[in-house]
């Protein structure tokens, strides 16, 4: 395993898992430590995906059950000088790397690491005990790259996954739930024309609250779903 071929987010999660194991006096880094490292990031994609899959309290429920499982791991005092990865954690990383190759990524992204983690039987059992569907969490993680399945080609290539998941909404996905947009055809056409340019193709919607900026974006999303765009 070459950390240089991991994204910053993946390395942060693995280093965090190692620190958790060392602080607890555990002799190995396990998938449980990795899960704890990932879920402790309040705005991270693992926590967000669990919340989206199981509701607002799902992440807290998972964390409670996970902490109970971590407390059952025997501790050694003083703590060992070196804490290696367990066989099960190595399998998690290997599964993630296999998925990385199949997607054509140059670096192991945190979403692939999470997908590898979700296949671990102990993590699956903890999710089930917390009342959360493993399949639904997996679906939420897989949504992060969008329909175009964006590739990760740098160490920071998965940073925007977290930002989009935390601060953005996929209006194309929600288009069927949105109210019809009436009387905004000209504004929507202007946005489409700007988006279609080769350069300077970033439209900006400016106006006072309530004038209909969101309606223009929702109208565009509905047109994309209908195929009514260039």
Tokens representing residue 41 in the block: 């990031």
- Residue 201 confidence (pLDDT): 85
- Residue 165 confidence (pLDDT): 57
Question: pLDDT averaged over the chain?
Answer: 90
- Residue 27 confidence (pLDDT): 96
Distances (CA, A) of 31 to 17, 90, 136: 8, 9, 19
Higher pLDDT, 175 or 210: 210
Domains of the chain, earliest start first: 3-167 (1.10.1780.10), 171-226 (no CATH)
Q: What is the spatial distance between Cα 98 and Cα 95, in angstroms, rounded to a whole number?
A: 5
Is 146 within 8 Å of 171 (Cβ atoms)? no
Helix (H, G, I), strand (E, B) or coil at 30: coil
Distances (CA, A) of 17 to 24, 78, 84, 142, 184: 11, 19, 11, 23, 50
Higher pLDDT, 143 or 91: 91
Distances (CA, A) of 189 to 11, 146, 170, 176, 215: 44, 24, 20, 20, 13
For 160-198, write each residue's pLDDT tens digit: 665 555 556 667 667 777 788 888 889 999 998 998 888
- Residue 58 confidence (pLDDT): 96
Q: What is the spatial distance between Cα 123 and Cα 175, in angstroms, rounded to a whole number?
A: 34
Q: What is the spatial distance between Cα 200 and Cα 189, in angstroms, rounded to a whole number?
A: 16
- Residue 13 confidence (pLDDT): 97
Q: Is the pTM of this model over 0.85?
A: no
For 101-125, write each residue's pLDDT tens digit: 999 999 999 999 999 999 999 999 9
Q: What is the spatial distance between Cα 44 and Cα 227, in angstroms, rounded to a whole number?
A: 33
Phi and psi at residue 70, to the nearest 5°: -65, -35
Q: What percent of the chain has pLDDT over 70?
A: 93
Which residues are CB-contacts of 48 (< 8 A; sequence separation ≥ 6)? 140, 162, 165, 166
């Amino acid at each position: 395993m070459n950390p240089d071929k991991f994204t910053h987010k993946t390395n942060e999660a693995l280093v965090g898992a190692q620190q958790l194991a060392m602080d607890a006096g555990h002799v190995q880094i396990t998938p449980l430590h990795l899960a704890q490292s990932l879920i402790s990031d309040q705005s991270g994609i693992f926590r967000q995906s669990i919340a989206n899959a199981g509701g607002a309290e799902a992440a807290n429920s998972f964390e409670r059950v996970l902490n109970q499982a971590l407390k059952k791991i025997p501790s050694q005092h003083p703590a060992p000088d070196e804490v290696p990865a367990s066989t099960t954690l190595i399998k998690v990383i290997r599964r993630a790397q296999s998925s990385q190759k199949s997607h054509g990524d140059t670096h192991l992204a945190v979403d692939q690491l999470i997908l590898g983690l979700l296949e671990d039987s102990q993590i699956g059992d903890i999710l089930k005990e917390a009342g959360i569907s493993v399949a639904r969490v997996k679906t939420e993680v897989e949504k992060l790259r969008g329909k175009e399945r964006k590739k990760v080609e740098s160490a920071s290539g998965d940073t925007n996954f977290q930002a989009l998941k935390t601060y953005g909404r996929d209006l194309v996905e929600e288009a069927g739930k949105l109210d019809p947009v009436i009387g905004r055809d000209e504004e929507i056409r202007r946005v489409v024309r700007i988006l279609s340019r080769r350069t300077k193709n970033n439209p900006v919607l400016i106006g006072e609250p309530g004038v209909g900026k969101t309606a223009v974006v929702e109208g565009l999303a509905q047109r994309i779903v209908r195929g009514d765009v260039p």
